Amino acid sequence: MGSGLWSKQDSRSCKGDWTCRGEVICEKAGEMKACPAAPKLREIQCVPASWRHGYSVASRLVEDFELNDTDNKVLLITGASSGIGAATARMAVEAGWQVVLAARSEDKLQKLVQKLGEEHAMAITVDVTDYEDQRAMLKTLLERHGRLDAVFANAGVGGEPGGFSGAPVESWETMVNVNILGAAYTLRATLDTLKQSQGHLLLTGSVAGRRTLAGSMYSASKWAVSAIGYGVREELRGTGVRVTLIEPGPVDTPFFDEPMDNSLTPEDVARTVLFALSQPKTVDIHELMVLPTPAVE
């Protein structure tokens, strides 16, 4: 039998009473687990015949470790300078992701990069309504990282009051350009790369894109995002790319001038995004609608 991951004890230090075996497995009193200190996994070449638990258990542990390992994986977040995007970036870095932060506000992006650490995050100033700008964004990302594993198309803007009878039409144009075309341009710019990595695409929809809201162009734009999510999922069927719609209720973000009662925080939504990203490749979460718990009467 040839040499492989199981041929010798490794020099890494495991926590507590655990002992490293090979490159990816730790052992304690006959129990095995995937080693948190392991480097990026390589294909298993052999296992010792004397291993009491046998190949099936060991290989399952390795597979679980590989599917959930985020070391060096790259997550692109649009609309990353504040709110849901910034909160997701913070949690993603804590989970081991490399994050690429894209938004219009260079100052906010750079401040966030400084907080997260330049070894974990990079900023790219981009106007999501400009397709060529988004193509340049991807080029810059690949020049640094050489890979892209997940995209969170999160850029969006709110509307103005007045309904279809009185709201300024300029606000409609902005919402269509950012919420709909901006998301579509992100997909167009990144999908070929995501197909290569069999990665994960997430889009920020809204409960407003699942319910009818009187006189709301914002709701109409989020219905369009839902339709984009459904359509691209079918387009990508069989490619290995997963598509998840994140559909929050009211979120206390810079969208609103005053703090909101009984609303979600950006961190609430970010945890939902990280939950979807943490699933193994065998799990395809289509939609996650997240609402605040109703106030106690």
d(CA 105, CA 119): 21
Strands ordered across the beta sheet of 19-21: 19-21, 25-28, 31-34
CA distances from 73 to 100, 147, 200, 270, 297 (A): 11, 8, 11, 17, 45
d(CA 168, CA 37): 56
Q: Which of 85, 110, 83, 109 is nearest to 254 (CA)?
A: 83
pLDDT value at position 17? 56
Q: Please give the biggest Cα pair distance in the chain.
A: 77
Catalytic residue among 55, 185, 218, 230: 218
pLDDT value at position 117? 95
pLDDT value at position 8? 31
The residues of the chain scoring below 50 in pLDDT are 1-13, 15, 21-25, 28, 32-67
pLDDT value at position 73? 95
pLDDT value at position 115? 96
Active site residue 131: no
pLDDT value at position 43? 34
d(CA 277, CA 255): 25
Domain assignments of the chain as residue spans, ordered by start:
19-68, 74-290
pLDDT value at position 50? 39
Query: What does DSSP say about strands 19-21 and 25-28: parallel, antiparallel, or unpaired?
Result: antiparallel
d(CA 172, CA 12): 57
Q: Which CATH superfamily is domain 74-290 in?
A: NAD(P)-binding Rossmann-like Domain (3.40.50.720)
d(CA 9, CA 13): 11
pLDDT value at position 6? 31
- Which tens digit of pLDDT belongs to each residue from 149-179? 999 999 999 989 999 999 999 999 999 999 9
pTM of the model: 0.76
Secondary structure of residue 58 in the 3-state scheme: helix
